[in-house]
Amino acid sequence: MPVRKANATWEGGLKGGKGRFQGQTGLAAAYNFSSRFEEGPGSNPEELLAAAHAACYTMALASGLEKAGKLATKINTDAACTIEKVGDGFAITSMKLTCRAAVPGIDDAMFQKIALATKEGCPVSKALQAVRVELDAKLA
**Pair (74, 113) in one structural domain:** yes
**Pair (100, 52) in one structural domain:** yes
- Residue 138 is assigned to a structural domain of this protein: no
- Residue 55 is assigned to a structural domain of this protein: yes
What is the structure's pLDDT at 26? 92
pLDDT of 135 higher than 70:
no
What is the structure's pLDDT at 50? 93
Distance CA 85, CA 99 (A): 28
Q: Which pLDDT tens digit goes with each residue over 16-34? A: 999 999 999 999 999 999 9
Mean pLDDT calculated for residue range 106-132: 87
Q: Which pLDDT tens digit goes with each residue over 38-82? A: 999 999 999 999 999 999 999 999 999 999 999 999 999 999 998
What is the structure's pLDDT at 128? 87
Q: What is the pTM of this model?
A: 0.89
Q: Which range marks the domain in which residue 26 is found?
A: 1-43
Residue 65: CATH number of its domain: 3.30.300.20
- Residue 125 is assigned to a structural domain of this protein: yes
- Residue 9 is assigned to a structural domain of this protein: yes
pLDDT of 134 higher than 70:
no
**Pair (39, 108) in one structural domain:** no
Amino acid sitting at position 55: A
- Residue 12 is assigned to a structural domain of this protein: yes
